[in-house]
Structure 1
Amino acid sequence: MSGRFLVLDGPSGVGKTTVTALLADLLAEDGWDVHRTKEPTHTQLGETARYGTDDYHGLTLACLVTADRYQHLETEIRPALAAAKLVICDRYLATSLVLQRLDGVDGEFIWALNQYVDRPDLTIILTGDPTRSRARAAARGIHSRFHRGGPGAGQQERERYAEVAVELAEAGFPVHLHDIGEQTPNEVAAELLIQVKLVLGTACGQQPTGEAACTNAS
């Protein structure tokens, strides 16, 4: 039996990490053997990518981020999948397609760099009010130049993630775009649990009831 691979992505400060933790708990209660992880990783590569955005730009940073992703796959994600775990990753390919493109890197180059990455069973992209997202990101501490943009930067990031949801779907990635609106993190996680079950089935072996290439909840 092989594991399953779930990704949560979206703009900084939208609540990904909180929702990922809540959703992981719900899935564990439902019987899944859950393995949580994130990108950039806490390895030397990942920490350099996370905290080195003032030192590295454009193609250099894109290659660094992707190197961290391949190392992540080789040393953590694939072994967990081989052990039949449900891997839930906070940030993945969508982040590269948004941030590296905002950093001036051509989309085709980003896709070429990531051509050998594993395809998630489902990518969930969260979006929300950009002003709130930026405020939350600032409150927890800004460590990346991508978070220091002007008033329109948050809206630009949100729009880009919505575009990337379509781009991923067109490339064959199952995607669910979810606007959190006024929902609490617990409400978001509960609603996402339903979507995950539709795509992945259940831990006890129930088959998926449906799999849309790109679904949109608002």
Structure 2
Amino acid sequence: MTQGRFISFEGIDGSGKSTQAALLADQLRDLGHDVILTREPGGSVGAEEIRSLVLEGDPDRWSAETEILLFTAARRDHLERTILPALAAGKTVICDRFADSTRMYQGLSRGDLRSLVDQLHSLMIGREPDLTVLIDMDPSVGLARAKSRQTSEERFEDFGVGLQQQMRQGFLRLSKEFPERFVVINGVDDKEAVAGDVLSAVTPHLQKGLNA
């Protein structure tokens, strides 16, 4: 059986990446793909338990180092129990956030810890997505969208627009660091137009995987 394809979505809070991940999953299913839609932190029973620890509560609840360990533990469980089995079965895995978010949120914004994130990733995860879709958006617009959701997972949103500006620039730098893996999509249009742009960008990568 052909190995499945692993697609992640990244972007600042409120960029629309979760909506676009779900829309892409629906589009690919309509085209006949067997798709697993998942998220981070989360995506497995153990990882969902860790999710509530890291996304809720006071912004200063955890140190950056503790967060990195928690996110890595959640990602390892997610990888073992959800992602790798689905890929081995030939499915397309679409994940709302993956290691790039940890590189940004914990490795960059809360101290110069990118090297620590990468070391733990190499030791415990050892896998990057085949394709990462970065939904790019002005941070002030994105944060306003995120705040309007009124979810309980507001801990990182409470760091404010300054963090989101750092994150946007960091994600764009990552897209240049890993150009073979990233595609950058402008997220300011209506969601249907953005979804069309995402599908157009993803399709050649899926075809490449089928022909490999």
- Normalising by structure 1, we get a TM-score of 0.85
- In 2 relative to 1, CA 33–54 (structure 1 residues): closer, same or farther, beyond 3 Å? same
Q: Partner of 2:131 in structure 1?
A: 122
- In 2 relative to 1, CA 51–77 (structure 1 residues): closer, same or farther, beyond 3 Å? same
Deviation at 1:185, TM superposition (A): 1.1
Deviation at 1:99, TM superposition (A): 0.3
Would you say the 8 A contact 2:185–2:197 is kept in 1? no
One-letter identity of the residue aligned with 2:200: I
Q: Partner of 1:27 in structure 2?
A: 28
In 1, Cα distance between equivalents of 2:143 and 2:75: 25
- In 2 relative to 1, CA 56–152 (structure 1 residues): closer, same or farther, beyond 3 Å? closer
Would you say the 8 A contact 1:54–1:144 is kept in 2? no
**Mean Cα displacement is larger for which, 101-110 or 15-24?**
101-110
Give me the CA root mean square deviation. 2.0
> Is 1:2 aligned with 2:3?
yes
One-letter identity of the residue aligned with 1:118: R
> Is 1:47 aligned with 2:52?
yes
In 2, Cα distance between equivalents of 1:47 and 1:151: 23
> Is 1:186 aligned with 2:192?
yes
Deviation at 1:186, TM superposition (A): 1.3
**Mean Cα displacement is larger for which, 144-153 or 17-26?**
144-153
Cα shift readout 1:56-103 (whole Å, capped 9, x = no counterpart): 121111111111001100011111111111000000011011101201
Unaligned runs of 5+ in 1: 209-218
2:63 is matched with which residue: 54, 57, 62? 57
Q: Partner of 1:199 in structure 2?
A: 205
Deviation at 1:202, TM superposition (A): 7.8
Deviation at 1:151, TM superposition (A): 4.2
2:178 is matched with which residue: 162, 168, 188? 168
One-letter identity of the residue aligned with 2:133: I
User: How many percent identity over aligned positions?
Assistant: 34
One-letter identity of the residue aligned with 2:190: T
Cα shift readout 1:119-160 (whole Å, capped 9, x = no counterpart): 211011111121110001111136343212344333222111
Unaligned runs of 5+ in 2: none
SS in 2 for 1:125: strand
- In 2 relative to 1, CA 6–104 (structure 1 residues): closer, same or farther, beyond 3 Å? same
- In 2 relative to 1, CA 109–202 (structure 1 residues): closer, same or farther, beyond 3 Å? closer
Would you say the 8 A contact 1:59–1:105 is kept in 2? no
Q: Partner of 2:89 in structure 1?
A: 83
SS in 1 for 2:14: coil
Deviation at 1:2, TM superposition (A): 1.3
- Normalising by structure 2, we get a TM-score of 0.87
Q: For residues 103-142 of structure 1, what are the structure 2 equivalents within 5 Å?
A: 103-115=110-122, 116-141=125-150
Would you say the 8 A contact 1:121–1:200 is kept in 2? no
One-letter identity of the residue aligned with 1:178: I
- In 2 relative to 1, CA 150–68 (structure 1 residues): closer, same or farther, beyond 3 Å? closer
Would you say the 8 A contact 1:98–1:164 is kept in 2? no
- In 2 relative to 1, CA 60–176 (structure 1 residues): closer, same or farther, beyond 3 Å? same
Would you say the 8 A contact 2:143–2:161 is kept in 1? no
SS in 2 for 1:35: strand
- In 2 relative to 1, CA 7–150 (structure 1 residues): closer, same or farther, beyond 3 Å? closer
Greater helix fraction, Structure 1 or Structure 2? 2
Would you say the 8 A contact 1:70–1:117 is kept in 2? no
